[in-house]
Amino acid sequence: MRSFWSEPFLWIHLAGVAALPIFLGLCLLGLAVGAPLLPVWLEVFLVGAAGIAPVLWMQWFRPFYIFSILVVAVKPQKLTDGQQRLLTGFKSPLNQGLALFVAVVLAVILWQLYRFAPLAAAVTPFPPQWRLAGLLLAAFAFLASNLFLQVPASVMALLLTPESEFAAIQPHVLEKVGQDFTIAGWQVDRILPAFATERDRI
């Protein structure tokens, strides 16, 4: 087992992919509301852009800070040397290329959802006249779908890094973590229990 596999934050965010089917299902239900108000290509483009662009931009320029859970995040100053190496790994060109690939895959999935949306018309949460509300639901759900696939995909790529390559990674400069990563939530000294965070696990 690779030494950095003992980092619990990696597995927590990898498990987030389990939420992907839920949000894709919500996207399908949103697209199934009523008849199209705009040309098909335009509706797909608007929902796709709203869902893909923000997360893709984040993963390219300021990747998601994985040392966070829900509304709390570990202060960058409290990161271990190994955790700083993990952050450097998320800034690699490989992760940027992976983010683009995932975005393309999700765009194809969105087109398929749009095609099959009429099959779910009977179970939509809104009446047919609320097409706009349906598109808003679809856009929000597709945005969440991107988030819950992009982050686990980047984590998986890092988990597959050979031990020798990981050992050669330089720790990310603590002073630059705030500007190089998207940190969401209230910053605290510790999130996980002391036994899991106080020693350098990596």
In this predicted model, what pLDDT tens digit does every residue of 63-72 receive, in sequence order?
A: 999 999 988 9
- Provide Rg for the chain, Cα atoms: 19
Determine the pLDDT at residue 194: 54
Question: Mapped to the 3 state alphabet, what secondary structure does the chain carry?
Answer: CCHHHHCHHHHHHHHHHHHHHHHHHHHHHHHCCCCCCCCHHHHHHHHHHHHHHHHHHHHHHCCECCCEECCEEECHHHCCHHHHHHHHHHCCHHHHHHHHHHHHHHHHHHHHHHHHHHHHHHHCCCCCCCHHHHHHHHHHHHHHHHHHHHHHHHHHHHHCCCHHHHHHCCCCCHHHHHHHCECCCEEECCCCCHHHHCCCCC
Interval 171-175 mean pLDDT: 93
In this predicted model, what pLDDT tens digit does every residue of 105-127 receive, in sequence order?
A: 999 999 999 999 999 999 998 99
Q: Mean pLDDT in the chain?
A: 92
Could you tell me what percent of the chain has a pLDDT over 90?
A: 84
Determine the pLDDT at residue 196: 46
Cβ contact 105:52 at 8 Å: no
In this predicted model, what pLDDT tens digit does every residue of 137-169 receive, in sequence order?
A: 999 999 999 999 999 999 999 999 998 898 899
State both tokens at 83: 């955790």
Q: How far apart are alpha carbons 144 and 22 in whole angstroms?
A: 10
Model confidence band, residue 50 (pLDDT cutoffs 50, 70, 90) = very high
pLDDT at 197 over 60: no
pLDDT at 195 over 50: no
Determine the pLDDT at residue 19: 97
Model confidence band, residue 1 (pLDDT cutoffs 50, 70, 90) = low
CA dihedral 192, 61, 15, 173 (to 10 degrees): -30
In this predicted model, what pLDDT tens digit does every residue of 12-49 receive, in sequence order?
A: 999 999 999 999 999 999 999 999 999 999 999 999 99
State both tokens at 150: 């992009």
Q: Domain coordinates of the chain in residue numbers?
A: 3-64+80-169
Determine the pLDDT at residue 191: 86
Q: How far apart are alpha carbons 67 and 78 in whole angstroms?
A: 10
Cβ contact 99:150 at 8 Å: yes
pLDDT at 198 over 60: no
Model confidence band, residue 2 (pLDDT cutoffs 50, 70, 90) = confident
Residue count of the chain, please give it: 202
Q: How far apart are alpha carbons 37 and 93 in whole angstroms?
A: 40
